[in-house]
Structure 1
Amino acid sequence: MSRKEYLQHIISLHERLILTSEEYEGVAEEFIRKQELNIPAMKEQWLEKVEEFKQILTDMMALEIPNAFEIEGKELQLVYERFVHCVEEKTHIFSVEAMENGELDTIQEQEEQAAERMEELIQSMFDK
């Protein structure tokens, strides 16, 4: 796979990631808008989005990384895997107690760090 083709695939996957992230966030917003805090129902919808994140990860892992992007491409896979793990973990542990004891904040911070690193890696590949 050429560098250009690889970057096109990465951009497509990243766009799917952004859309799925927005939809994931939208689940809670919808329940809040309805003034209906049904945590099991929220988790169920979030888990559907987690499956979409996992599919994006599967698609990313299937890409052939060009030699020029060997380091960045492998790190991108690892960082994205960490991101998906964080989203899945916070979905499973979500509760009022987890919000109050700061457990969700810790996972959220790790998720945000992974997202920032993904952006940096993608940008560095474009800069090559």
Structure 2
Amino acid sequence: MQLISKAKNWAKSLKRDIVALWLAARDPRVPWHAKAVAGAVAAYALSPIDLIPDFIPILGYLDDLLIVPLGIMLAIRLVPAEVMNELRTEATGRIERPSSRVGLIFILAVWLICIIFLALALRKLA
């Protein structure tokens, strides 16, 4: 029972940190390189489409279980601590989850490029 409670708290803090990073990408006090990482991580995490679809065995959940948390940890380290604490407080007040159109466009572009390369490779084989 305690494990479930810890998992729920971790999930809530993860969601809060994603929203805080989304805010950090727009905050003028955050250095440009931290903004770039925070924006990319938040856009990917908030995107409705995964880079690796979940239906692909093992790899489908790799981004959710490994890539996203590692990206969040990196972005949090790059944002100044006092700014991150303030943004976490602000993010806690935001219940609704912002959607990322930039993240959606990025993931769709990656898939489109993959499909084009696959089509070109298959065309050369034929």
Greater share of helix: 1
Name which one, 1 or 2, has greater alpha-carbon Rg.
2
Greater RCO (Cα-Cα under 8 Å, separation 6 or more): 2
TM-score interval (norm. to shorter): 0.3 to 0.5
